[in-house]
Amino acid sequence: MKAVVYEGPGKKSWTDVPDPTIQRPTDAIVRIDTTTICGTDLHILKGDVPAVQPGRVLGHEGVGTVTETGSSVTGIKVGDRVIVSCIKSCGHCANCVAGLNSHCMGDEGQSGIGWIFGHLIDGTQAEYVRVPYAENSLHKLPEGVTDEQAVMLSDILPTGFEIGVRYGRVKPGDTVAVIGAGPVGLAAMATAGLYGAARIIAVDLDENRLEQARQFGATDTVSSAASDWKERVLALTDGQGVDVSIEAVGIPLTFQMAVDLVRPGGNVANVGVHGKSVELHLEQLWIQNINISTGLVNANTTPLLLKLVASGKIPAERFATHRFGFDEFMDAYDTFGRAAETKALKVVISRS
C-alpha cells in the first residue's frame, strides 16, 4: 500500500510500505477512505517530536471501512464505517476506567501514552491502518454522517470540547474568550454553546479566521493585531474580564493573553500544544483565584459529539475548506502548511 512516511526533519514521502496485518486478537484493519492533516503533523515534520522515528507512517485522524478483525473483536465487524479515534483505549486499565484514555496503560505503543497513531505506531495517512483495541478505539458511523463530518471527530472536536470547554468549566451564562481561531479554537467555539455560554469572543490576528469564527458560534471577534485588543475584549465584559479564557495556539504570548483576559475566580483552559516553556507568574496570580487547566484529549466524548453532529447541532462539515485525493498528499501538506495564505482550516484527503 501507499502511505505518507516521515523520513526525518523536513522530509516526507508518499511511498510504498507493507500492508498492515492483525497482530493481536483485539486489532482491526481499516481501509482509510478519508483523512486529514493536523498541526501536530507539522510539528513532527519540524523534528519537534523526537519520539517519531524515520520510517513512521504519519497521521492520527481518519474515517474508513473495516476490512478485517482480530479473533476477540465482536462489537465491530467487516464492512462497518468507522471513525478512527486519535487516542487508543484498552478499556480496562485504571486510567481508561477513570476516563483518562490519554494515559491508557495498555502496552500498545507505550504504556501510559494514549496518542500512538503517527507517533509510536503507524498512522492514518495511508491506504490501510491497523487499529489496536478496536472496540474502544473505533466508533461506528450512523447513516447520514458524511466522511468529511466524521473525520473532524477523530481529534479536533473532542479536543476543543474536552480540553477547552469542559476543562475550562464553561457554564450557562458565561462569557468565553478563545485565543486562536484555528481548527481547534473553532471547535471550542462550536461546542461552548453546548454548556450555555452566552458570549463567545474570538481573538486572532487573521481576519479571515475571525470571519470564519462567526460561522462556528462566535458572537464577537477581536483582532489581536490591534494595539487595544485587550481593552476591546474587556469592554465586552464591562471591564471585569471573561469567565473562561481558552488558549488554542500554543505559544507563550497567547498563553499570557489568555491569563490577562480572565476575571478573578475565572478559568484559563490551555489547549494549545507548547513547544517552548511559558512563564507562570504565580506572584501575581495567587491572589486572583484563577484556575488553570491543561491536558491531552481523552476522546471519550466522541460518541456524544457524534450524535450532535448527526442531528445538525455541530457544523462539522464547515471545517473542511480544501479537498485532495490520495495522490495529492504533498499538495495537501503544502496547502495546510501555508494556511495563512491559502485560508485553509482543515484539508480533507479522500480515496478516489
pLDDT tens, residue by residue, 169-201: 999 999 999 999 999 999 999 999 999 999 999
The length of the chain in residues reads: 352
The dihedral through the CA atoms of 113, 165, 159, 157 has a sign that is positive
- Over residues 59-80, the pLDDT tens digits come to 999 999 999 999 999 999 999 9
Choose among 118, 114, 146, 129: nearest CA to 39: 118
Q: Please classify residue 173 by burial: count the beta carbons closer than 10 Å to its beta carbon, then call 0-12 exposed, 13-18 middle and 19+ buried.
A: exposed
Give me the domains of the chain, ranges plus CATH numbers.
2-155+299-350 (3.90.180.10), 157-294 (3.40.50.720)
Terminal C-alpha separation, the chain: 15
276-325, pLDDT tens digit by residue?
A: 899 999 999 999 999 999 999 999 999 999 999 999 999 999 999 999 99
